[in-house]
A and B are shown apart, each in its own frame.
Chain A
Amino acid sequence: MMEEQLAKKLNRQVVGSLVGCVHCGMCDQSCHYVLAFPDDPKMTPSYKADQVRKLFKANHDWTGSVFPWWVGADKAPLSDDDLETLKDMAFGTCTNCRRCTLSCPMGVDTATLNRIMRGLLSHVGVMPEGVRVVSKDQWELGNQMGVLKEDYLDTLEWMSEELEEDLGHAEATIPIEKKGAKIMYCINPREVKYDPRTIKEAALIFHAAGEDWTMPEEGWDNTNFGLFSGDDGLGGACAKREYEKARELGVDKVVISECGHGFRSTRFEGVNWAGEDEPVPMESSVMTMLNYIKEGKIKVDPTRNPEKMTFHDSCNNARSGGFYEEPRELLRLVSMDFQEMYPNRTEGFCCTGGGGAMSMSEYTPRRLQSAKIKADQIRATGAKVVVTSCHNCVDGLNDLIKHYELDCEVKQLVNLVANALVLDEIEKPEEEVHVPEEITVKPVVEGEPLAGRKILVVDDEEDVRTFLITVFEDAGAEVISASDGDQAVAMASEHQPDLISLDLSMPGKDGIETFVELRSTAETEEIPVCVVTGHPEFRQVIYDRPVPPPEGYLGKPVDEDKLVAYASHILEHRDEKAN
């Protein structure tokens, strides 16, 4: 099966890369895994690529057919152990960042060969569980995080309401499925699920620019797990959804939100996988925002972003998309203190969250070890903010910042542009009415939005528990707490809270088991759950369970405003459903 599949993936460029390697070893120092594991020669890119090369030589190159041992040819792996070893190598020791490709004197595209190996393994059903689940979601639900259509639309509505509240009028709502709009804006499902703020910020920028834009009801996911799993069929199907929607709506342009692999997949690889021409021009939202500033459509005030910042290049944007100067240009326009990190642009190191690594929690310790080089790069800049144009990079960088205890945070350009945006409609009231900062920043204090609600806080760490209890109580809620899973299940049955705030990593019965039990028990199955965890790598695991997914998700450290806003939103949504 693997041999047949390999034959389908061969073209002249791929064959060139398969026969061109001279085993010189020059690629080794380009790989963050080699640098992190110098004593493990199996991390070497050429060794990983040799796994495909062996198969190719045995089946397609006659020197390999006649003298297999002599030239290192080998038939398809036969045992399950062999396949598992290949799986760990292809998925767990390479993020397909393509850095080795640029370091090869022969021009061998090793990253492409690794993706081919992933594709062969996926074809025979051997892949990390996270990749399998996410691919399945993308096949079946049209997006990689299993976001239901109603949840997506509900989130857009929620963000529209917030925008309306911020601006004080209803002109800035998010247009949905607007035919004939100039721009169709596609996003990463992570934005819906974990960071809807970026949708609101983009909407604010479109509004400020007076743009005629829309978001589609379907075909809105710009991400594409086909790139990571090596499944060109999935890649083509995902891309087609967006292309067909763009044609259906008759838009002039597709704008892709800040997602590195989404940009690469939609803008470049998708047309090749789908076997069709570009439906309309497609560009990154970074280009859109930059052009708005250059054309005078929006005004920005860089003094609003005074912190020292550095920029991390997404591998897919820079190495595979030629897209590295524009983000810097935009960053310089909207911030005051930019510090380059080295190496950068096409030579930048991977954040280690690429290649789908964030959905493969089994490789997290190894991934974090390989992230040391990126952590050292960031630390050397002294920056307080790492800016990137990729959602995977946001997660990857957040992980390494936490792991290596760096004193900085991650932001995307959309955050900075929105923050720097000069809007007359909201600037003037600020000048005239001096609203105390506490009231504008923390509206929850005066409204007690959780008054009358009972919330169960589940966390094994006492200080975190105390923090959550305090925040919820300050917002007017009645709070009960549990420090482990068994206690949580018992208290949920007994007290029937309106919401459960659930930690995932706990000794004994962990949050995942607890969640499944809550969802599987008649007394507690309807209680909304908001996962609050410091382990983003677990989030996929919980969405993999055969029970309805949690109603919300928040990463630690938790912003108290965000926590209350999430809790309120979940409860309002539940009330609406109940009514």
Chain B
Amino acid sequence: MHEISPALHTAEIIHWIALTVMVVVYTLRIRWLLSFKLGKDKSAPGNPGQSNKTKGARHSLFNVAMPWSMESTRKPKGFVFYISFVLFHLGVVAGITLAFVSTVAPNFLAIPAVGWTMMFFIVAALLVSLYRIARRTLRPLMRLISTPDDYFSLIMLTVWFALGLVTQAYLMGIWGVTSQGIQIAYLYLTSFFLLYVPFSKISHYLYYPFTRIYIGRALGHRGSYPVARS
């Protein structure tokens, strides 16, 4: 049974405050995006047999789950990147779950099946993030397009995954990790993460539905979405 110490309790409160701030900033971000006028295509549907805005938007939105739909994720090299993308983002979900559940139901994460599943995703994401750091720093192309925010966000997530891994070990009572300080540190880092995210590239997932639906509707209207495979 994991006790909730005053220090952990404080970290938990700060964590929730950070989450609230993030939600507020995200709300402002969406309002800001919506403050721009929506461009409307006045042209008639491109191809009566194919044109469908809704179908195009739906295809575009769920594109993320269809690696075969884009050449960039269909080809072998791209598919490997796609798998790493999936693992990385599942790791993020696991890390966020860990942060919230570890204070309200820590014993749940100590159940071996749950704990090892969490561990798997966090470890996988940690490995992917290390690969991504290498990719971003070693490839000239990636260096050219990277901003300090790109590097910082990635490094911060890598440290977060590493700390999450140790926190999960603490909750499972394995590898000799016994200090609650790890969990507290993880919560503080998560709080910082939540506060930083809305100001960084990590907030891309907030825009994802918008960009995907917009391009899907536009190309669906023309008749070129869903993509016709070669």
Q: A19-B33, A105-B64 are in contact. Are A322 and B222 (CB under 8 A)?
A: yes
B224 is contacted by which of A21, A22, A276, A346 (Cβ under 8 Å)?
Answer: A346
> Contacts of A108 on B, CB cut-off 8 Å?
211, 215
> Contacts of A106 on B, CB cut-off 8 Å?
204, 207-208, 211-212
The interface-forming segment of B15-23, B71-79, B117-125, B160-168 is B71-79
- Interface members, chain B 138-192 (any A CB < 8 Å): 139-150, 152
User: Is A13 at the interface (CB under 8 A from chain B)?
Assistant: yes
* B149 and A72 contact, CB distance less than 8 A: yes
Q: How far is the CB of A41 from chain B (nearest CB, A)?
A: 4
> Contacts of B41 on A, CB cut-off 8 Å?
268, 272
Q: A12-B36, A19-B207, A70-B148 are in contact. Are A324 and B228 (CB under 8 A)?
A: yes
User: Is A101 at the interface (CB under 8 A from chain B)?
Assistant: yes
Interface of B (DSSP majority class): helix
Q: A12-B37, A16-B207 are in contact. Are A322 and B46 (CB under 8 A)?
A: yes
* B64 and A323 contact, CB distance less than 8 A: no
Q: A22-B201, A321-B223, A323-B46 are in contact. Are A13 and B39 (CB under 8 A)?
A: yes
- Interface members, chain A 320-378 (any B CB < 8 Å): 320-326, 342-348
**Nearest-neighbor residue (CB-CB) of A28 within chain B:** B141
**Nearest-neighbor residue (CB-CB) of B51 within chain A:** A322
CA distance A30 to B224 in the complex (A): 17
User: Is A306 at the interface (CB under 8 A from chain B)?
Assistant: no
> Contacts of A104 on B, CB cut-off 8 Å?
72
- Interface members, chain A 1-46 (any B CB < 8 Å): 10-17, 19-23, 25-30, 41-42, 44, 46
* B42 and A271 contact, CB distance less than 8 A: yes
* B38 and A11 contact, CB distance less than 8 A: yes
> Contacts of A41 on B, CB cut-off 8 Å?
140-141, 143-145
B230 is contacted by which of A105, A269, A344 (Cβ under 8 Å)?
Answer: A344
**Nearest-neighbor residue (CB-CB) of A15 within chain B:** B36
Q: How far is the CB of B148 from chain A (nearest CB, A)?
A: 5
Most B C-beta atoms less than 10 A away, residue of A14, A103, A267, A348: A103
> Contacts of A292 on B, CB cut-off 8 Å?
none
- Chain B: interface residue total (CB-CB under 8 A): 63
CA distance A268 to B212 in the complex (A): 21
B216 is contacted by which of A15, A107, A267 (Cβ under 8 Å)?
Answer: A107
> Contacts of A281 on B, CB cut-off 8 Å?
44
Q: How far is the CB of A477 from chain B (nearest CB, A)?
A: 51
CA distance A42 to B143 in the complex (A): 11
Interface residues on A, range: 35 or more
* B227 and A102 contact, CB distance less than 8 A: yes
- Interface members, chain B 42-63 (any A CB < 8 Å): 42-44, 46-47, 49-51, 60, 63
* A268 and B46 contact, CB distance less than 8 A: yes
* A16 and B39 contact, CB distance less than 8 A: no
Q: A20-B204, A23-B201, A319-B224 are in contact. Are A70 and B149 (CB under 8 A)?
A: yes
User: Is A80 at the interface (CB under 8 A from chain B)?
Assistant: no
* A272 and B72 contact, CB distance less than 8 A: no
User: Is B70 at the interface (CB under 8 A from chain A)?
Assistant: yes
CA distance A347 to B71 in the complex (A): 8
User: Is B116 at the interface (CB under 8 A from chain A)?
Assistant: no
User: Is A47 at the interface (CB under 8 A from chain B)?
Assistant: yes
* B71 and A103 contact, CB distance less than 8 A: yes
* B230 and A347 contact, CB distance less than 8 A: yes
User: Is B26 at the interface (CB under 8 A from chain A)?
Assistant: no
User: Is B113 at the interface (CB under 8 A from chain A)?
Assistant: no
User: Is B199 at the interface (CB under 8 A from chain A)?
Assistant: yes
**Nearest-neighbor residue (CB-CB) of B49 within chain A:** A325
List 12 A–B pairs whose Cβ atoms lie within 8 Å, in order of A's numbering: A11-B39, A12-B38, A13-B218, A22-B204, A28-B141, A41-B143, A42-B144, A107-B211, A272-B40, A272-B43, A323-B46, A344-B230
Q: Which 7 A-B pairs have the closest CB atoms?
A: A322-B223, A72-B147, A11-B39, A103-B72, A41-B141, A343-B230, A107-B211
Known: A281-B44, A320-B224. 12 other contacts (CB 8 A): A16-B207, A25-B139, A26-B78, A27-B72, A29-B75, A44-B145, A70-B147, A103-B70, A278-B42, A322-B47, A345-B230, A347-B228
